[in-house]
Amino acid sequence: MRRSRAAYYFAIRWAKKNEKHIGSERIATALLNCTDRDFWSEIKRIRSKSVGVCKTDDGISDAGGISKLFLDKYHTIYNSVSYSDSDMHSIANDVTSKIRAEAGNGIFHISISDIISAVRRLKPHKKDGCAGLSSDHFINAGNDLFCHISLLFNAIVVLYMAAYQSISYTAHCSYTEGPQCHYI
């Protein structure tokens, strides 16, 4: 009887001591055997802690009042930033001029270290919402992905600049006898 009780308590202590290891082994086995499980959702399920939902917000406790309060605050935030086409064109022109200024001789390069420093500033466990892409995919990725992202961004900048230059060199407008465009 004493021996079985001692073995029982020893097993309990061993299980408590190795709880994280046992959980890691179980999730690894489950993910290896079942291919339809999402790795990051499983990790989030393990890490997440149950948090109670607040029943009142700014002294309002009924669902209709809380939804109206949310709607009012959303409209306030949404309408706090003005939008105009001229502002957007100004921002686009600023970005284009900064790309040209940094490029100097026409070559702009986004390095792998630029990508790595941007990825380091990402917050973990954030998802895009629809495609299932998580910030953890980038944070835990290897240098090969950063190389490919750098190549992709460089290609985007080169294609943008090529399109911008072809548009600006293609049409030459003269205003001698009214607006007339001459294509070169």
Structure letter (DSSP) for residue 52:
P
- What's the distance, Cα to Cα, between the start and end of the chain in Å? 100
The Cα-based distances of 162 to 96, 100, 103, 155 in angstroms read: 12, 12, 13, 10
Tokens representing residue 94 in the block? 């600023």
CA torsion 87→92→98→103, rounded to 10°? -170
pLDDT for the residue 105: 58
pLDDT for the residue 15: 85
pLDDT for the residue 116: 92
Q: How confident is the chain (184 residues) per 10-residue block, as mean pLDDT?
A: 84 86 79 69 69 69 80 83 81 78 68 90 83 84 89 84 62 47 44
pLDDT for the residue 149: 92
Closest CA to 141 of 114, 110, 120: 120
